């Protein structure tokens, strides 16, 4: 049974870094078929794909244009998890953040529980 | 950039009725990469349909998907109480790589 467990602070100050972690059970972050994504949801922006990491003989990342300059996703094979770092946050980054597993059909079949992150001083 | 527009915004129906939800793409898209999700309050989205018409694991057969090109439909043949939720379509393309519609809320009439 695949489970994704998210962790991280719920409150971040403007201009600081938002950091979240997604621990995987029942699958591997180094899977040769799955991909590992971050998606956020807010009333103003709806569901917004942020980026992914995946392993195909080597590690790959790609990011949405809207966050590319500020975002990093890192896999951690020793803990079987992946993380999100979003720098220089503003109140517009306030959202519920989800980690998900991507399938070969380019959809998302397993999701973390979601984490509300509020950017406020 | 492909934009997915869902209609109606809200659908008010009674249990047992048929629900028809629309997802229209701003340009022709591959049906192989069109998916539908259900989201209930306080929960993550749940994959229902992928490849426009294939049900995900464990999804009841009252849910069906159809369509091609720019027009896609999610049909719930007979609404059960647990089906009242928000539904999103999603597409994989180029940039942005994954896009979602704005959602259709199915509420109890």
Scan residues 62-81 of B and list those with Cβ closer than 8 Å to A: none
pLDDT at residue number B96: 64
C-alpha angle with apex B61: B3 to B30, nearest 5 degrees?
Answer: 30
Dihedral sign, Cα of residue B12, residue B59, residue A3, residue A49: negative
**What is d(CA B90, CA B39) in angstroms, rounded to the nearest whole number?**
13
Question: Dihedral through CA A54, CA A56, CA A57, CA A60, nearest 10?
Answer: -40
Q: Which residues of chain B have pLDDT under 70?
A: 95-96
SS3 A77: coil
Residues 6 or more apart in contact with residue A58 via CB below 8 angstroms: none
pLDDT at residue number B93: 85
Q: Does B56 contact A at CB distance below 8 Å?
A: yes
Q: Which residues of chain A have pLDDT under 70?
A: none
pLDDT at residue number B1: 82
Of the candidates A37, A47, A65, the beta carbon closest to that of B100 is on: A47
């Amino acid at each position: 049974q695949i489970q994704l467990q998210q962790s991280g602070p719920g409150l971040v100050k403007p201009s600081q870094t938002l950091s979240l972690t997604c621990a995987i059970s029942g699958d591997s972050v180094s899977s040769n078929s799955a991909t590992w994504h971050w998606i956020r949801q807010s009333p103003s922006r709806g569901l917004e794909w942020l980026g992914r990491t995946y392993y195909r003989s080597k590690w790959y990342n790609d990011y949405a244009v809207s966050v590319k300059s500020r975002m990093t996703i890192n896999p951690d094979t020793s803990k079987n998890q992946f993380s999100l770092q979003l720098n220089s946050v503003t109140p517009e980054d306030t959202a519920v953040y989800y980690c998900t597993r991507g399938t070969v059909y380019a959809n998302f079949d397993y999701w973390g529980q979601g984490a509300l992150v509020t950017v406020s001083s | 950039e492909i934009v997915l527009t869902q209609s109606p915004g809200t659908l008010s129906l009674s249990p047992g009725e048929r629900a028809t939800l629309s997802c229209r793409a701003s340009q022709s898209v591959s049906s192989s990469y069109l998916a539908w999700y259900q989201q209930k309050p306080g929960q993550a989205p749940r994959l229902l349909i992928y490849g426009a018409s294939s049900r995900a694991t464990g999804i009841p057969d009252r849910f069906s998907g159809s369509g091609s090109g720019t027009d896609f439909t999610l049909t719930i043949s007979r609404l059960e109480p647990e089906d009242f939720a928000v539904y999103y379509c999603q597409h994989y393309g180029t940039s942005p790589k994954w896009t979602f519609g704005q959602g259709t809320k199915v509420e109890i009439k």
